[in-house]
Amino acid sequence: MAYTEIFWMACDSTEQLRAEYGPFHTRPEAEIQARKLGFGYLLRYEHLLGVDEEIEEVRCIFVELPGAHPIGTENIPVNLHTRCATCGESSTHEKAWQAEVWADIHEFEHSRHRVRLFEHARGRGLKEICGWRG
């Protein structure tokens, strides 16, 4: 006898690298928390459970909250993240010049290492900035 278990999460984007908060038993609970956190989406998980309560199938459904600000209509703070593609060392920065200095020092101390730059904004997820040292 199959059984469906449903729970809700508040999330900031539909990207793979997103922030999720929860779980919640009901949509209204998740919606309240999403609005408190400034998140624009809910994520509904449906687990289809089999005979021994083993998960047989998982479904994920994104729900955009009504009245949520579309991306770009409000001032969203952006954090910069640098990460070495060779050794994995990373750091977080508030200003672009800090990321540039960190990358210069790292690449000077470790020849043949290359640093990548990412920006992270709430609701947009993590995005690589290509050709930033170019």
- Four-CA torsion 34, 37, 39, 42, nearest 10 degrees: -20
Cβ burial 54-84 (10 Å sphere, 16+ → b, else e): eeeeeeeeeeeeeeeeeeeeeeeeeebbbbb
102 class by beta-carbon count within 10 Å (0-12 exposed, 13-18 middle, 19+ buried)? buried
pLDDT of residue 74: 55
pLDDT one-digit tens code per residue, 45-95: 999 888 888 888 999 999 999 876 544 445 667 889 999 999 999 999 988
**80: DSSP letter:** E
27 pLDDT above the threshold of 90: yes
CA 106 to chain CA mean position, Å: 26
pLDDT of residue 68: 66
- Token pair belonging to 80: 């910069």
| Count of residues in the chain | 134
